[in-house]
Structure 1
Amino acid sequence: MRYISTRDLESRQVGFSDILLAGLAPDGGLYLPVDYPQLDRATLAEWRQLLADEGYAAVGHRVLGLYIDDIPSDDLLGICRRAWNGQVFASDDVVPVTRLPESGDDAPGGIWLAHLSDGPTAAFKDMAMQLLGQLFEYELARRGTTITILGATSGDTGSAAEYAMLGRQGIDVFMLTPAGRMTPFQQAQMFSIDDPHIHNLAVDGVFDDCQDLVKAVMGDAEFKQRHRLGAVNSINWARVLAQLVYYVVAWLRVTESDDEQVSFAVPTGNFGNICAGHIARQMGLPIKHLVLATNENDVLDEFFRTGRYRVRSAAETAATSSPSMDISKASNFERFVFDLLGRDPARLRKRFVDQLGSDGEFDLSATAEFATIEQRFGFVSGSSSHADRVMTIGAMAEEGVLVDPHTADALRVARDHAGAEPMIVLETALPVKFAETIVEATGVEPQVPERFAGLLQAPRKVDEIANDAGALKEYIAARV
């Protein structure tokens, strides 16, 4: 299995272990496999039995094995077992699924919740980060080298990455956060970590500013090589690949036959989570629709409705009650547009380098590809407001199910696209991370899991930094 850049300036093909440590391609593009392996009914039937017999990690090993051929299979299985087990997550199922109460169910196939938030930091990001931590440690030991992780977070990526990398040999982490834009719980999870290899930086700006800083520093080839920079954001292909596994497992758990279709509803801002669903569908997993849900920052919903992709300014990016989706520049969207445009790097560069660089937007509404986007790729979309979130959380709580605001956004949009097939909503986080909105919706404080007792009162360690790539480079250089 070889990988190419979406911008393909050098037509280079590389292996998985190289792109694992590199993150962003040298030409500024994102890595994708040369082609997507295809699933047939016999393979899905085999995986169904494997899930029943050996569990989540065993299926994950088979899925990852389609894309990773430069790590011995037995070693890869060990990595999967260490990442996904009942000691790291709340149960041996790792990703349980439950059908929501009938009184809140508008679809004959049922609306289901895939529980992705039972990991160490109570967010779906743990599903990928736990694997990434194991992969990094393995590959660094194999090469006898170190890595400096540079990332940006709008809420949950940062804490999931830091907990996954904490204590691992040869790894330093520098994580950028938008100052004042995360919930108190999210801030406490990150800033309470006191470790000389974990560095939290508060940037005066929004998440997109943090993400732009990461890309700017990563784009300095000499600095990147000298300090051995790597990425944990979803620009790293391994993150997307890890997320692909839970689409397969959720489908297996909800269906009974190997050709039964489902739809997935996914709250998204950076297009990473739903990008994994796109790849699963391209591989042949029987997915009818990928229901993309945004909050008031509706850049992606606007594209799928109109064909126009328009990046918002920092002033236009609203601070909402589902803050992990307060994003106006979706990094992984480039991977989808590459596929949409027939994997033509010249057409891709015209949009993401030329037009976005000069105009801050591009428009595909007149293209033949956009006209068939639902038929070919299964995408439909919608947006949700604060009032929608509060109403959905309150209604679900009355049925005995408490969800976080991002999951509520997905539930709200999912109901607009419910059909005869099962609709699987991907959970984002446990409600405790967004207590203020939960109290507004239900009048009751969400239960705090025992492992988080006292977290909000813990001392915090965070440095403020200017929204400037030069200042960030100086900070990193002084500490590694």
Structure 2
Amino acid sequence: MQYISTRGTALGQYTDVLVAGLAPDGGLAVPAEVPSISAETFESWRALSYPELATEVIGMFATDIPREDLARLTAAAYEGSKFEAEDIVPLTDIGGGMTLVGLSEGPTLAFKDMAMQFLGEAMEYALAKNQDILNILGATSGDTGSAAEYAFRGRDRIGIFMLSPQGRMSAFQRAQMYSLQDENVHNIAVEGVFDDCQHLVKTLSEDLAFKNAQHLGAVNSINFGRISAQIVYYVWAWLRATDAVAADDRATFAVSFAVPSGNFGNILSGYYAKLLGVPVRRLVLASNENNVLDDFFRTGIYRPRTSAETLATSSPSMDVSKASNLERFVFDLLGRDAERTAGAWRTLAETGSFDLTAEQPRLTAEFGFASGTSTHEDRIRVIRDVFERSGVIIDPHTADGAGVAAEFVEDGVPMLVLETAKPRKFPETIAEALGETPEPPAAVRELMDAPQRVVRMANDEQALREFIETHAVR
């Protein structure tokens, strides 16, 4: 399979875009043509384990990796001891017509592990094959950073520089990242918000001379490797949700997915799953108070907020106002027209917004998206309601998803709510909702008490350049 940029450049194959991250023209890598999967093939996958299914799904996109090598990579990524649940991604009824898709069973207790564990194996494979090195530059609003660092820590060919916004993550999220002492892991707390961190990453990635000199790559959701790995759990969830459906009806039995969304990467993976052939009725996008994406899907106008306008909320991993993955979807919305896509982002840079109101009706009618906004009061109520009816405690981001999903529950259409993280990562919010929070396990208490290593830095491009030049893997 060949890949192209959303702005028109040919990019090569899967392992090429895996290591490169942002395209040289500033766009994002997308498949030149998305494959389709027959009903018979889906049915043949039903009995597969999660790593076996990952081999099949990712293999549709990673055609340049020999199948036996890919099977070894997925087996290592989804090895049972790394995950709390035996079946890796469990499905749990939480009442109200909704089912929780458990994506937080991995080492950092967040859905980002599902893609990042694979990316760690796949990147090391690609680098070893070419006798190359990579310095990963990323930005996190909470969970991407820890998932990336746990996936890449201690790897000889890889350095990782992770930017996070000072004071904008939970204490647990900070402890997971900053307590790591591996020499190849560098945590940089930037003065500002997540979008400032993301802007620094994009600025340095677009400087091709600096990028090449420092061997920079990316593991946040601009890397298509993550998108491909996330598609797997959409296929898995549909297969599990339809296990009890009569065999003759399975091929067309539709489900809806509700996805807490900040950077648009997770729900984009659901969109690709739908393109592959998974019968998806709706993709329900849930925003928190930073509801730029909800505004776009309701109006067709994309107007990111400034750093000063981006709110600090109780679902901090979604405190994003510039969704870097939206460009991939807009590329398809505009008929895969690279010139129009590049033009939209030029307009965005010049005016602070772009207007696709003419295309807005297609977002629901053709692409199946719905959206809504959740507030702090909403998520507190939803955490309480879900616990009272099912005994399951969900984290605040997942509560945003469940709260918005409730509006779109339909008889006969399972509503699958994608979990963001384990609730113990956000004890203050859980305590507010339930009156108390369970005593954390000894391992969590030990993590919170561990010494932390982090570099504090102004929102300063030159300072970041100098730090990377000094500490990059050579």
TM-score under structure 2 length normalisation = 0.96
**What secondary structure does 1:200 align onto?**
strand
The reply on whether 1:343 has 2:336 as its aligned counterpart is yes
Query: For structure 1, which runs of at least 5 residues remain unmatched after alignment?
Result: none
Q: Distance in 2 between matches of 1:319 and 1:39?
A: 41
Q: Distance in 2 between matches of 1:221 and 1:470?
A: 16
Name which of 43, 46, 50 aligns with 1:45.
43
Q: How does 1:30-429 map to 2 (within 5 A)?
A: 30-49=28-47, 51=48, 55-101=49-95, 105=96, 110-255=97-242, 256=245, 257-352=250-345, 354-365=346-357, 367=358, 369-399=359-389, 400-420=391-411, 421-429=413-421
Q: Distance in 1 between matches of 2:98 and 2:80?
A: 26
RMSD: 1.0
After superposition, the C-alpha distances for 1:200-241 in whole angstroms (9 at most, x for unaligned) are: 001000000000000001111111111111101000000111
Deviating beyond 3 angstroms after TM superposition, the runs of 4 or more aligned structure 1 residues are none
Q: Distance in 2 between matches of 1:446 and 1:14?
A: 50
By how many angstroms is 1:445 displaced?
Answer: 1.6
Q: Distance in 1 between matches of 2:269 and 2:3?
A: 16
After superposition, the C-alpha distances for 1:1-60 in whole angstroms (9 at most, x for unaligned) are: 00000011xx424111111000000000000001110122111111113x2xxx101111
By how many angstroms is 1:453 displaced?
Answer: 3.3
Contact 2:104 2:111 in 1 (8 A): yes
Query: For structure 2, which runs of at least 5 residues remain unmatched after alignment?
Result: none
Q: Distance in 2 between matches of 1:372 and 1:173?
A: 40
The reply on whether 1:2 has 2:5 as its aligned counterpart is no
By how many angstroms is 1:404 displaced?
Answer: 0.2
| 2:445 paired residue number | 453
Q: Percent identity?
A: 53
**What secondary structure does 2:108 align onto?**
coil
Query: What amino acid sits opposite 2:62 in the alignment?
Result: I
After superposition, the C-alpha distances for 1:349-402 in whole angstroms (9 at most, x for unaligned) are: 1111x211111101111x2x3222212111000000000011111112223110
Q: Distance in 2 between matches of 1:350 and 1:220?
A: 20
Contact 1:292 1:382 in 2 (8 A): yes
Contact 2:18 2:223 in 1 (8 A): yes
**What secondary structure does 1:478 align onto?**
helix
After superposition, the C-alpha distances for 1:316-335 in whole angstroms (9 at most, x for unaligned) are: 10000000000000000000
**What secondary structure does 2:81 align onto?**
coil
Query: What amino acid sits opposite 1:412 in the alignment?
Result: G
| 2:465 paired residue number | 473
By how many angstroms is 1:251 displaced?
Answer: 0.5
Q: Distance in 1 between matches of 2:378 and 2:404?
A: 10
Q: Distance in 2 between matches of 1:145 and 1:393?
A: 46
Query: What amino acid sits opposite 1:431 in the alignment?
Result: P
After superposition, the C-alpha distances for 1:289-342 in whole angstroms (9 at most, x for unaligned) are: 000000000000001111110010111100000000000000000000000000
By how many angstroms is 1:457 displaced?
Answer: 1.0
Contact 2:259 2:285 in 1 (8 A): yes
**What secondary structure does 1:141 align onto?**
helix
Q: Distance in 2 between matches of 1:450 and 1:260?
A: 44
Aligned length: 464
Contact 2:100 2:416 in 1 (8 A): yes
Contact 2:11 2:23 in 1 (8 A): no
Contact 1:65 1:73 in 2 (8 A): yes
**What secondary structure does 2:128 align onto?**
helix
